[in-house]
Amino acid sequence: MTETAVIHVIDDDDAVRQSLAFLLATVGYEVREHPSARAFVDAGLPAVDPAAGCIITDVRMPDMTGIDLLQHLKDKGSAVPVVVITGHGDVPLAVTAMKLGAADFLEKPFDDVAIIDVVKSALARREKTHQHDALRGEAAERIAALSQRERQVLELLVAGQANKMIAYDLGISPRTVEVYRANVMTKMKAQSLSELVRMALLAGIVPRGA
């Protein structure tokens, strides 16, 4: 993810934007520049760029500010991390940006190492989010393949109930519960009960009686 990710730099100050883009390019990132948040949004970004890995935007820009951009991205459900660049005295704006989902913020002037470290951190969080989403999707698909009874057994297992209690609640024998439990473990591709519970919770399973 971090090797192919595109960094979008948004700033109405040509010198600042070009300098930042040059710096990121020298350490191996693919960078695309945008003279304003409005231009970025009007281009359909970041939705039309599947490689979008991080957005760096100035907070004070005409027409559409960095805060406006964050609100727009939040409304669109974008998961691309945003790093906000603020000037001296803009800490309140930076706090607002964080509340709107900004991954981080940097105060001007900042050094080269600081911006590179922030970008690396944002991309790492982005990668973890992708991995989490992928695992959640896999778990949901496996749960969807369970029969109604197998799902009931899964929900009771997640609730922490022993086989005998599950048998009592469902009106079946403990031996039958063992069969269903084995089927659930196989279909979910879980190597242990703890792994099964983690996958179920990841997929949003609400334990019976919760």
Does 208 fall in a domain? no
Q: What digits encode the pLDDT tens for the residues 38-90? A: 999 999 999 999 889 999 999 999 999 999 999 999 999 898 999 999 887 77
Residues 36 and 101 in one domain: yes
Task: Provide the CATH number for the domain around residue 159.
Answer: 1.10.10.10
Domain that holds residue 57: 6-131
Instruction: Give the per-residue pLDDT at 205.
Output: 85
Residues 126 and 149 in one domain: no
Gyration radius (Cα) of the chain, Å: 24
Which DSSP symbol is given to 152? H
Does 209 fall in a domain? no
Residues 37 and 99 in one domain: yes
Residues 15 and 49 in one domain: yes
Backbone angles phi, psi at 4, to 5 degrees: -110, -5
- What tokens appear for 124 in the block? 């790492």
Residues 149 and 127 in one domain: no
Domain boundary among 131, 166, 182: 131
pLDDT above 70 for 207:
no
DSSP string computed for 183-194: HHHHHHT-SSHH
| Number of domains making up the chain | 2
Q: Which amino acid is at 106?
A: L
Cis before 92? omega within 30: no
Cα(138)–Cα(3) distance, rounded to whole angstroms?
24
